[in-house]
């Protein structure tokens, strides 16, 4: 039923390449099948103004797509002069998700800025971004610890994300572009390595979905995230 | 346990005032307790460029807060020169939710623009907006039918929305500001009058949440929406 | 001659509702007939940078119209990304007028921010805004005095505003939309409760006007403001 | 009493140089004492979208100050990325005033764009702009007639403008910067050559002003505009 | 003398990877040592408005740097809301250079949009961009020819670019970041494969440079471009 | 061959009027034939943030064209809300060139802001701007020395600029608009009074140019700048 011949719950091959570029404290190329995202984590001293004086750190994220990461060229947001609503929504999601992975008190007054730049898009860019960014974040935290800026490891747990959905009446996991653009329901799930939920965003693109479909999608997500967490850990080993 | 003394699943008094202002085809003041939002639905001929020639209609939404709808004054977005990420996220949600309530083919080449302007905020402004906007939308569709622009009623089903969350370890419904700003998990649910899901957006603000909490929140939402749908129908009667 | 049957000098019923919303230090709904504006006054410590170190306070104003306050929907300025020339002109007028009502030295280093948001427009929104904002300002000053932040009352005199004009060759007061859009001359007058002038802005929309018409318009304004001042005082009593 | 030794009603030397730059259909350097403004009128075929199909023409204006036209350098608005409220207010005034000088029907579907750029500022830039722009406009209309684009002269009457005010308790005419920055009341008056009023904008900067002062200011303006009209006509002769 | 031990005229290892991403008609990863740029060429029908009706094609370019392509993170231009002067200057240069490589008449009414996105920066990003973009352009032209949209090959000649400069008093070629940030003179040269000049941009960052240095820099550029052209041709073979 | 009848190497009459406007520390009207630019130099204490604490000064430049300095009216950049790429490129060039004329250490913590505003354009506005701005800069430095803010003269050498190009197959100097819009190659050269190069920007608009043409253009520039430097010195005498 799926264009790729995958089974309903089967995710695409996932690959995580660390140290992909030279300058960032953490730099990862993450691939979910044909979706490819460069995720960097930049560590800097100090925190944004609204966080000052709390003795806590901050994690924030920005997201972008190269204009020709997509089938037809999309506008360059820098040239248009503003980031679109979809971009803002995604980068807010990435930032929120990664903050949930870290004990901000233990991070102290440091800021980690995550940049997720899609160089090739085939569905699931936001879940690939979160998954790759978590690995880049771990590398940046390690950098800070080696440098002596952190006494303890502020990471509370790894996080990973997956898209699930209802496609031609069936629940499936890890939608690629062809499925995504035709799905009845599209849901992104961010979870901890311990199987708890951090973010659930489900949307009926066509028909409303039932509580049963909701539960089945969550189950598929649970299995996928378990698998992805193993890949993250292998990459970090 | 709740500041207001409400039970865990108890929603606030909800009031829906139709024809609140004079000019819009649909104009509603919706109140969820102390949260007050003016929702208008404006009908116009034609559709945006990207929809032209499909013989379908379009529904879009914009959202704003009066600067002093909040405890301390927030910046006027028009003066700052751009809408923030939260605003864009909310208005995209409202638009998506209402499009899911309507058969766009049956709407023909008409555009309905929803405006939700919060005049007083006490938590749940986006769910109140969706709830009120649906009633304004019904009035605007009725206007188009009376005018002879529509042959059939494009409304597929009423929709309504509610916030649920985990607060001090307990699942509760319809969070007011004091609860919202202190909740571990915050989830917005949009449903049809027939009990199906249109949108689920759950976020762990503090600790991750479990599948059990997820399910309990969805159950609370299901009951709340049933109640709210009755209030919408009474207002329209 | 007038669409409403009013006499030439007759103003519309004016209503002033204090404490219209909950959070602002001053919050007023002002109605000039079918024109309805929410005016809030927000008090905060400190002054903008250009006023620092003078030991004086500051009063500033912002103005907006809900997109569907008008007969046909107007663009949301926040979405367009800038405030139009008319909006800037009106909010500069409101701010200037209210600063003329207050002894800024006696206000000390506090800022009062006025927000005037039109929820329904039928002509005269700027004069209604000034009239309502003055009452909201008085409430905010009272708040500051009760809180002990001010030792004396910085209010020098109440102010109020009215539109006058030449319509079908006759001088009239308090133009509603139908008159306003068809008037030869349109003039807005802001005065003190003691009958002195703060601001006069007269524009020939069609034919130039004579010195005699100018004087007659000012006389109409003088009488109207006297009446409006009484309504303001009754509301504050 | 006046810094320049002028009498209360005495205006500064006014000079109008036509054909100041080469390319515009009308190009004028206007000087009110040390205030110097380049006013050009550009004629083009067609009208803006909102005027299309009415068979009428349009006149619009833009205003700017060179950054170092002022005592201390002011920001370049192009670099800041937006025109300030004062600029928008002035250019709206200039456009309105000049439209009142012309029979738009007789202008046919042509647009005249007025640009007023202050190269040296010493008070009264907006009144100098209107005065100079009217001469540039006449030249542009003559250009269109010579070219055969217009059959009749659409000019209804010349217009000119002057500032008047209350300074140290006395009414004076044509305020220079030192007076303007210290005046109790500042009023700009635009009149036709026939002595009728087009625009009156009076503002109490300090104390409110009386009806008597209002009348005296208008009288001063009437005499000044008569004088200025003669200078305009001499320049055009 | 050079940090890398290179001789004065020695360029870095250059690598050109075609089909680097999947969707663009031409997609190249170009590496000049540690400088890495993704260059895509997107072909579309039609031309921008200002080119319409001439029967000619158009080539335009956009340039960007990933925020962490640099040693310390630079702002994301999309988030700042505008492209900086350096970015605009570079993308105008790239577009001009590539238009000089193509017979726009032979291209017909097609637009080629070049995107150069720096993923890792170590000096010479603009010359690497032009060099890589030319290869991507050739692939896009081949695509159009295979598709039957072009009858002839519009390419007039390959182009390539190199930076040269004066560093510690010596003329050198292909400056890396350490050299670039410390050079007395920095010059970018774009040439055809036939050894003619398309663009020369030389800037004295510190001391002015002599006519002799100018000539020596041009000679170094001539040799480097000859070498680079061979690499481009090998990649295309 | 040239529209004006000039010989190939002949520059237009150049005139430099100092103290053109009253307020700036340096104010120059520079004319290269029909090209006229107002150049002001504004001196202020302190430096931009990125220069703080180095004990050095800063020179920056802004450039603009009056909307009707050109044959057909161009948009006002302040109204469009941003400066175009050409404007940014030119003002970056002017700033760089003038910084190369000054010993920033000797300037101490002062900023000189150059404004070049074109009031009439006929080709060569950027080279006229640099030439005029250098004179305005000298006046501003003299002002600072007279005021006692500078102990030594920070000027290292005068600079001047000229455009050269290839037009109808011939190398020519100081292109006017008719030549510029039709030239095969256009090159701007900035030099010191001592005959060294500061900036060379050559662009093939049509056919690529040869090394021989390059050299010939540089020779023409050398002679022209020598002549222009004399005119600058005469103006300053």
Neighbours of C19 (CB within 10 A): 12
**Per-residue pLDDT band at F206 (split at 50, 70, 90):** confident
Q: Give the tens place of pLDDT for each residue, E160-203.
A: 999 999 999 999 999 999 999 999 999 999 999 999 999 999 99
Yes or no: say if F120 and D23 are a contact pair by the CB < 8 Å rule: yes
Distance in Å from the first CA to the final CA of chain D: 36
Would residue C101 be called left, alpha or beta, if left means φ above 0 and alpha means ψ between -120 and 50 degrees?
alpha
Per-residue pLDDT tens for F84-96?
A: 999 999 999 999 9
Cβ E105 vs Cβ A57: under 8 Å: no
Q: Is B215 on the interface with A (CB under 8 A)?
A: yes
Cβ distance F23 to D64 less than 8 Å, yes or no, reads no
State the alpha helices, DSSP H only, in B43-196.
Answer: 77-80, 85-99, 104-107, 125-146, 177-180
Residue in chain A lying closest to E73 (CA): A42
Cβ contact, residue pair B201, A196, below 8 Å: no
Of E89, E197, E209, the CB nearest to F202: E197
Residue D1's pLDDT is: 86
The residue among B187, B133, B142 whose CA lies nearest residue B160 is B133
Cα separation, B47 vs B112, whole angstroms: 9
Q: Is A23 an 8 Å CB contact of chain B?
A: no
Give me C79's structure tokens: 């979405």
Q: Any CB–CB contact under 8 A between F113 and chain D?
A: yes
- Give the E-state strand segments of chain F in sequence order: 14-18, 26-32, 35-45, 58-65, 110-120, 159-167, 170-173, 185-192, 197-204
Please tell me the predicted confidence (pLDDT) of residue C206.
Answer: 83
Query: Which of D92, D203, D210 has the CB atom closest to C96's CB atom?
Result: D203
How would you write C79-132 as a 3-class SS string? HHCCCCHHHHHHHHHHHHHHHCCECHHHHCCEEEEEEEEEEECCCCHHHHHHHH
Residue B99: name the closest of B80, B84, B118, B112 by CA: B112
**E228 touches A: beta carbon within 8 Å:** no
Among E85, E92, E102, E195, which would you mutate to test the F interface (most chain F Cβ atoms within 10 Å of its Cβ)?
A: E85
- The predicted pLDDT at position A1 comes to 86
**d(C-alpha F129, C-alpha F140), whole Å:** 16
Q: Are F23 and D71 inside 8 Å of each other by CB?
A: yes
Strand B197-204 relative to strand B185-192, pairing: antiparallel
Rounded to an integer, the average pLDDT of F122-129 is: 98
Distance from CA of A32 to the nearest CA of B (A): 24
Tens of pLDDT, residue by residue over F181-202, are 999 999 999 999 999 999 999 9
Give the tens place of pLDDT for each residue, F34-90. Answer: 999 999 999 999 999 999 999 999 999 999 999 999 999 999 999 999 999 999 999
What's the mean pLDDT in A155-167? 98
Which candidate from E88, E92, E210 shows the least CB-CB separation from F196? E210
Which residue is closest to C29 within chain B, CA to CA?
B119
Consult the annotation and say whether C126 binds a ligand: yes
Interface confidence, given as ipTM, is 0.96
Query: Is some CB atom of chain F closer than 8 A to the CB atom of D77?
Result: yes
Query: What pLDDT is stored for residue D184 in this prediction?
Result: 96
Please count the other Cβ atoms lying within 10 Å of the Cβ belonging to residue E123: 23
F76: Cβ contacts below 8 Å, ≥ 6 apart = D62, D64, D78, D115, F67
Q: What percent of chain A has pLDDT over 90?
A: 99
Q: Do residues C186 and C203 lie in contact, with contact meaning Cβ atoms separated by under 8 Å?
A: yes
CA nearest neighbour of F23 among F5, F38, F34, F35: F38
Establish if D17 touches chain F: CB-CB under 8 angstroms. Answer: no
Percent of chain E scoring above 90 in pLDDT: 99
User: Among F163, F181, F172, F162, which Cα is nearest to F70's?
Assistant: F181
Of D196, D202, D222, the CB nearest to C208: D196
Helix (H, G, I), strand (E, B) or coil at F55: coil
Question: Are D85 and C96 within 8 A, CB to CB?
Answer: no
- pLDDT over threshold 90, residue A237: yes
Answer whether D119 touches F (CB < 8 Å). yes
Question: What does the pLDDT look like over C201-211, one tens digit per residue?
Answer: 999 988 999 99
Element (H, E) at F8: none
Chain F residue numbers with beta carbons less than 8 Å from the beta carbon of D62 are 67, 76, 79
Average pLDDT rounded to a whole number, residues B132-145: 98
Examine the pLDDT at E228 and tell me if it is beyond 90: yes
pLDDT category at F1 given cuts 50, 70, 90 is confident
Q: Is E69 on the interface with A (CB under 8 A)?
A: yes
Map residue E128 onto helix, strand or coil. Answer: helix
Is C218 near chain D, with CB under 8 Å? yes
F-chain CB neighbours of E92 within 8 Å are: 85-86, 89
Give me the pLDDT at residue B206, please. Answer: 83
Number of Cβ atoms within 10 Å of the Cβ of A237: 5
Query: Searching chain D, which residue's CA lies closest to the CA of residue F73?
Result: D42
Q: Is C202 annotated as a binding residue?
A: no
Q: What is the mean pLDDT of residues E212-224?
A: 98
Which among D34, D64, D68 has the least Cβ separation from residue F40? D68
Closest-CA distance, A87 to chain B, in angstroms, reads 9
Interface check E214 vs F, CB under 8 A: yes
Asked if the C-beta of D41 comes within 8 angstroms of chain C's C-beta atoms, the answer is: no
Binding residues of F for phosphate: 86, 124-126
The model carries a pTM of 0.95
Partners of A32 on chain E (C-beta within 8 Å) are: none
Residue A18 confidence (pLDDT): 98
Residue matched to tokens 């007050």: B36
Q: Does A19 touch chain E (CB under 8 A)?
A: no
Question: pLDDT above 90 covers what percent of chain F?
Answer: 99
Nearest CA-CA partner of B88 in A85, C80, A87:
A85
Residues F125, F126, F129: CA angle, nearest 5 degrees: 85
User: E206: pLDDT confidence band, cut at 50, 70 and 90?
Assistant: confident
H helix runs in F17-155, sequence order? 77-80, 85-99, 104-107, 125-146
The single residue listed with the structure tokens 């802005």 is C201
- C86 annotated binding-site participant: yes
Distance CA E152, CA E107 (A): 8
In chain D, what residues touch F62 (CB-CB under 8 Å)? 67, 76, 79
> Do residues C124 and C187 lie in contact, with contact meaning Cβ atoms separated by under 8 Å?
no
Q: Is B214 in the A-facing interface, judged by CB distances under 8 Å?
A: yes
Sequence-distant (6+) residues with CB within 8 A of A7 are: none
Q: Confirm if D64 and D79 have CB atoms less than 8 A apart.
A: no
What's the gap in Å between the CA of D166 and the closest CA on chain C? 13
Q: Is B12 annotated as a binding residue?
A: no
For the stretch E21-34, pLDDT in tens is 999 999 999 999 99
Angle at A215 between CA B89 and CA B162, to 5 degrees: 40
Residues in chain D predicted with pLDDT less than 50, given as ranges, are none
Exposed, middle or buried: residue C3 (CB in 10 Å: 0-12, 13-18, 19+)?
exposed
- Contact flag E22-A120 (C-beta cutoff 8 Å): yes
Average the pLDDT over A11-28 and give the result. 98
Name which of F40, F62, F71 is nearest D23 (Cβ-Cβ): F71
In angstroms, what is the C-alpha Rg of chain F? 18
Predicted pLDDT at B148: 96
CB atoms within 10 A of CB B125: 26
- State residue A69's pLDDT score: 98
F164, F194, F200: best to mutate for the E interface, most E CBs within 10 A: F200
Quote the pLDDT of residue C118: 98
Question: What are the structure tokens assigned to D72, written together?
Answer: 């201390």
Whether the CB of E92 is below 8 Å from some CB of chain A: the reply is no
Interface test with C, best of D50, D197, D214 (most C CBs within 10 A): D197
Q: Check whether E1 has a pLDDT greater than 90.
A: no
Which of E40, E42, E62 has the CB atom closest to A79's CB atom?
Answer: E62
Question: Within chain C, which residues score under 70 in pLDDT?
Answer: none
């Amino acid at each position: 039923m799926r264009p790729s011949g995958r089974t309903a719950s089967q995710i695409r091959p996932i690959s995580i390449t660390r140290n992909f570029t030279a300058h960032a404290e953490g730099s990862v190329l993450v691939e979910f099948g044909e979706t490819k995202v460069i995720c960097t984590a930049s560590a800097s001293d100090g925190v944004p103004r609204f966080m000052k004086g709390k003795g806590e750190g901050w994690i924030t994220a920005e997201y972008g797509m190269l204009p020709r990461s997509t089938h037809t060229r999309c506008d360059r947001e820098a040239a248009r002069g503003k980031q679109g609503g979809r971009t803002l929504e995604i980068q807010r999601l990435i930032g929120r998700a990664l903050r949930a992975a870290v004990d901000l008190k233990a991070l102290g007054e440091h800021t980690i800025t995550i940049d997720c730049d899609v160089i090739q898009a085939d569905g699931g860019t936001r879940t690939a971004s979160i998954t790759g960014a978590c690995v880049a974040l771990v590398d940046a935290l390690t950098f800070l610890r080696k440098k002596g800026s952190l006494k303890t490891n502020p990471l509370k747990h790894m996080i990973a994300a997956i898209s699930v959905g209802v496609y031609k009446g069936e629940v499936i996991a890890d939608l690629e572009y062809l499925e995504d653009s035709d799905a009845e329901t599209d849901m992104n799930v961010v979870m901890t390595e311990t199987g708890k939920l951090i973010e659930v965003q489900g949307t009926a693109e066509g028909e409303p979905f039932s509580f049963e479909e909701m539960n089945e999608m969550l189950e598929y997500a649970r299995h996928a995230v378990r698998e992805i967490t193993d890949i993250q850990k292998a990459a970090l080993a």
